[in-house]
Amino acid sequence: MARCPFAVWMEISGSSGSYTSGPFKIVHHTTEGSSAEGAFGAFRANRSDPHFTVDSSKIYQHIDTGRAARALRNAAGGVQTNRDSAIQIEVVGFAHRPKVMATLKNVQKLCNWLEAEHGIPKVWPNGLPKPAVNGHDPGGHNRNAANWDNKGGHYGHSQVPENTHWDPGYTATEAAFVIADAATESIYIEALETIPLEEGPDFATEVSTMPDHCGGYAAAPAAGEAGPRAKPKVSARRTSTPARGSGRTAAKAGRSSARKSSASKSKSGSKSKSTRSQSSAGKSSARKRSAARRPATKTSKKTRKIAGRKNGAKGATKRAAARASNMAKSSRRKSQDR
């Protein structure tokens, strides 16, 4: 039973059982995600825990190295995978992307400890893992079952019998670095300067080209134990596509509706104007009737008095003219009588 002294202990689903055979070996995976927390959720959902998860800042241990992990496929009737003394490391990152120096240093530190603890040689029995080609599975992986069963050392997930995933996608420099002795050998690795010091700005939003990775396999359970569930495939939601011409029909309907609405508003506006006009006429008529009913003001009384005086003066003038005419007629008659 062994727990790494510098790892953070974090049990998730527990072991898949005891080892059954084989020399100790280390299997390298990639989580196909950008965070350790995301990987933990996938392990929990699918019961697909490795022994360790490693990112650029920490090393987490989920299962004691004296017990089998759960991250490999194990077909019925074939060789043992999870329980063939395979100590499994999930590296936070993607098979199709380069790994950063801080993460690789943590993997190297862990591998140095496991090699010393379990007597694991610094070799790749099935050859170096193959890196991605144009971001995808390069193919041609060596999954020699005899080597797996009989030779200790380091294997990529891509080199395990009965498995189809192609992680970790290490380059030759990365593969050499993780098994090198941290104290004496790292500085002599060829092309060490090609390892990036930090992740690119798009790392957090990166999408895996191997989306069924975490939990995609169901490991064979130990007697009396429930096996891990396979990760359900995630399919993109389909949205219905409108039939040809339906977009134009909808547009026409929209324009027709708009015209009807406009016409309705225009009619409503006309009715409102007519109502306001009628209301105004009604108010004017009411004002006239009100004015007719109101008593005469001082100004109108004075006007009537002046008009009366003028009429009286005219009458007096007429009467004086009539008297003068009568007097003239009377004088002529008297003169005639004499």
DSSP 3-58: --TTSEE--SS---B---SS--EEEEEE-SSS-HHHHHHHHHHHT---SEEE-SS-
pLDDT in tens, 38-47: 999 999 999 9
Label residue 147 by pLDDT band (50, 70, 90). Answer: very high
Q: Work out the percent of the chain whose per-residue pLDDT is above 90.
A: 59
Which CATH number among 3.40.80.10, 3.40.50.300, 3.10.400.10, 3.30.429.10 corresponds to the domain 8-205? 3.40.80.10
- pLDDT above 90 for 271: no
Q: What is the pLDDT of residue 165?
A: 97
Confidence class of residue 326 from pLDDT cuts 50, 70 and 90?
A: low
> For position 274, what pLDDT does the model report?
46
Confidence class of residue 184 from pLDDT cuts 50, 70 and 90? confident
Which pLDDT tens digit goes with each residue over 121-131?
Answer: 999 999 999 99
- pLDDT of 69 higher than 70: yes
How far apart are alpha carbons 297 and 192 in whole angstroms? 114
What share of the chain has pLDDT > 70, as a percent?
Answer: 62
Q: Which two tokens stand for residue 76?
A: 């019925």
Q: Locate the DSSP E strands across 73-149.
A: 86-91
Stretch 84-101: mean pLDDT: 98
Q: Give 318's pLDDT tier (boundaries 50, 70, 90).
A: low
Residue 249 has pLDDT above 70, yes or no: no
What's the pLDDT tens digit per position in 9-33? 999 999 999 999 999 999 999 999 9
Look-up of token digits 């953070």: 8
**Contact residues for 243 (Cβ-Cβ < 8 A; gap 6+):** none
Confidence at 264, pLDDT banded by 50, 70, 90: very low
Q: Give the start-to-end residue ranges of the domains of the chain.
A: 8-205, 300-331
- Asked if pLDDT for residue 71 goes beyond 50, the answer is yes
- Confidence tier at 304 by pLDDT (50, 70, 90): low
User: Chain-wide mean pLDDT for the chain?
Assistant: 78
DSSP state at residue 188: G
Q: How confident is the model at residue 187 (pLDDT cuts 50, 70, 90)?
A: confident
pLDDT digits (tens, 9 = 90+) for 74-92: 999 889 999 999 999 999 9
Confidence of residue 186 (pLDDT cuts 50, 70, 90): confident
